[in-house]
Amino acid sequence: MQPMLSTFPLRKLPFVALKHVIKLMEIDEIVKIAITSRYMESIVKSCCIRIRRTIVSLYGEYTYVGLYNPKYPVFQPSQYTRTGKGGFETLSKTSSSSFSQKLKSVFRLPETSTTLENTRQLFTRIYKLFQCGPFKLMINSSTENIKKTLEIPEFRNFEALILCGQHFKKKQLDEVMEFERENQDLQILEGVIPVDYYHPNLFKYTDVHYCDARWIRLEHLLSIKDNFQIELGMNNLTIPDLNKFLHHWMNSEYELFKFMSIDIEKESSIPLDVLFRGITVLRGYRFGKWKRLISVKSPNTRNRQIMSISWSKSRIDMSTWSIHERPKQGDRDNEPYAPEFEILQLLKQRRVLTLKLERVGDDSLEKQEELTGKIEETNNQLQLRG
Amino acid sequence: MSVEPEVPIVQVEEVRENPVLYKIISSDNHVFTISEHAVKLSKTLWDLITNLGLTAENALDNPIPVENVNGKNMETIVQFCERHKYDEEEPEYTNYIREFVLPEWDRQLLSIDNEELFQLILATNYLDIQKLMDYCCRVIGDMAKDKTPEELRIIYGIPTDAEDDALERSASDSPGPSG
Whether A25 has its CB under 8 Å from any CB of chain B: the answer is yes
Polymer length of chain A? 386
* A214, A119: one domain: yes
DSSP state of B96: B
Kind of pairing between the strands at B21-25 and B31-35: antiparallel
Confidence bin at A92 (pLDDT 50/70/90): low
* A277, A253: one domain: yes
Order of strands, sheet of B21-25, starting from the edge strand that comes earlier in the sequence: B31-35, B21-25, B64-65
Best of B97, B126, B152, B168 to disrupt the A interface by mutation (most A CBs within 10 Å)? B97
> Is A160 contained in some domain?
yes
A286-320: pLDDT as tens digits: 998 899 999 999 888 999 999 999 998 889 999 99
B62-97: pLDDT as tens digits: 899 999 999 999 999 999 999 999 998 877 777 777
Whether B93 has its CB under 8 Å from any CB of chain A: the answer is yes
Residue B5 has pLDDT above 90, yes or no: no
> Is A42 contained in some domain?
no
Residue A74 has pLDDT above 60, yes or no: no
The upper half-sphere exposure of residue A124, i.e. CA atoms within 13 Å in the direction of its Cβ, equals: 13
Please give the pLDDT value at position A106: 61
B114-147: pLDDT as tens digits: 999 999 999 999 999 999 999 999 999 999 888 8
* A190, A247: one domain: yes
* A276, A331: one domain: yes
* CATH number at B15-88+102-164: 3.30.710.10
Polymer length of chain B? 179
Measured distance CA(A249)–CA(A267) in Å, rounded: 27
> Is A33 contained in some domain?
no
Residue A92 phi/psi, 5° resolution?
Answer: -160, 160
Whether B165 has its CB under 8 Å from any CB of chain A: the answer is no
Please give the pLDDT value at position A4: 65
> Is A237 contained in some domain?
yes
Kind of pairing between the strands at A259-263 and A282-286: unpaired
pLDDT average, residue stretch B20-24: 92
Residue A251 has pLDDT above 60, yes or no: yes
Domain tally for chain A? 2
Contact A72 B99 (CB under 8 A): yes
Is the separation of the CB atoms in B148 and B141 below 8 Å? Answer: no
B149 contacts on A by Cβ (under 8 Å): 32-33, 35-36, 106
* A214, A358: one domain: no
Contact A32 B152 (CB under 8 A): yes
A312-358: pLDDT as tens digits: 888 999 999 999 999 998 889 999 999 899 889 888 888 888 888 88
> Is A10 contained in some domain?
no
Per the structure, the complete domain to which residue A364 belongs is given by 354-384
CA angle A225–A228–A233, rounded 5-degree value = 90
CA angle A32–A33–A34, rounded 5-degree value = 90
CB atoms within 10 A of CB A249: 24
* A316, A368: one domain: no
How distant is the Cα of B133 from the closest Cα of chain A, in angstroms? 8
Q: Where are the domains of chain B?
A: 15-88+102-164
How distant is the Cα of B24 from the closest Cα of chain A, in angstroms? 24
Best of B94, B96, B156 to disrupt the A interface by mutation (most A CBs within 10 Å)? B156
**Which amino acid type is present at position A6?**
S
Confidence bin at A382 (pLDDT 50/70/90): confident
A49-65: pLDDT as tens digits: 988 888 888 888 788 88
> Is A23 contained in some domain?
no
Is the separation of the CB atoms in A293 and A344 below 8 Å? Answer: yes
Please give the pLDDT value at position A2: 53
CB atoms within 10 A of CB A299: 15
- Sign, CA dihedral A245-A249-A253-A255, equals positive
* A273, A364: one domain: no
Residue A101 has pLDDT above 60, yes or no: no
Reduce the DSSP state of residue B168 to 3 states and report it.
helix
Please give the pLDDT value at position A379: 80
Confidence bin at A267 (pLDDT 50/70/90): low
* A338, A378: one domain: no
Please give the pLDDT value at position A3: 57
- Residue A34's Cα: distance from chain center in Å? 34
Higher-confidence residue of A376 and B32: namely B32
Whether B166 has its CB under 8 Å from any CB of chain A: the answer is no
Please give the pLDDT value at position B99: 72
Measured distance CA(B55)–CA(B21) in Å, rounded: 9
Whether A37 has its CB under 8 Å from any CB of chain B: the answer is yes
Is the separation of the CB atoms in A132 and A106 below 8 Å? Answer: no
Residue A97 has pLDDT above 70, yes or no: no
DSSP state of A92: -
Asked which of A109-118, A225-234, A244-253, B11-20 is least confident by mean pLDDT, the reply is B11-20
**Which amino acid type is present at position B171?**
A
B153-177: pLDDT as tens digits: 999 999 999 998 888 888 887 766 6
A183-235: pLDDT as tens digits: 999 999 999 999 999 999 999 999 999 999 999 999 999 999 999 999 999 99
Strand partners for A158: none
- Nearest in space to A214 (alpha carbons), one of A262, A142, A173: A262
* A295, A360: one domain: no
Is the predicted ipTM greater than 0.90, yes or no? no
How distant is the Cα of B54 from the closest Cα of chain A, in angstroms? 30
- Sign, CA dihedral B158-B163-B169-B173, equals negative
DSSP state of A139: E
To the nearest whole number, what is the mean pLDDT of chain A? 85
Please give the pLDDT value at position A85: 38
A20-38: pLDDT as tens digits: 999 988 887 888 899 899 9
Query: Which ranges of A5-139 does DSSP label H, i.e. alpha helix?
Result: 15-23, 27-34, 38-46, 101-106, 115-129
For A241, the enclosing helix (H) or strand (E) is: helix A239-251
Measured distance CA(A250)–CA(A351) in Å, rounded: 16
Measured distance CA(A73)–CA(B22) in Å, rounded: 43
In A46-96, which ranges are E strands? 53-58, 64-68, 74-75, 82-83, 88-90, 94-95
Kind of pairing between the strands at A160-164 and A282-286: unpaired
> Is A337 contained in some domain?
yes
* A152, A197: one domain: yes
Confidence bin at B13 (pLDDT 50/70/90): very low
pTM: 0.77
Contact B155 A29 (CB under 8 A): no
Is the separation of the CB atoms in B109 and B79 below 8 Å? Answer: yes
> Is A359 contained in some domain?
yes
Residue A321: left (phi > 0), alpha (psi -120 to 50), or beta?
beta
Please give the pLDDT value at position A104: 59
DSSP-derived secondary structure for A324-366: TSPPEETTEE---SHHHHHHHHHHHHHHHHHHHHHHS-TT-HH
B32-50: pLDDT as tens digits: 999 999 999 999 999 999 9
Measured distance CA(B146)–CA(A208) in Å, rounded: 41
* A180, A293: one domain: yes
Measured distance CA(A302)–CA(A249) in Å, rounded: 11
CB atoms within 10 A of CB B156: 24
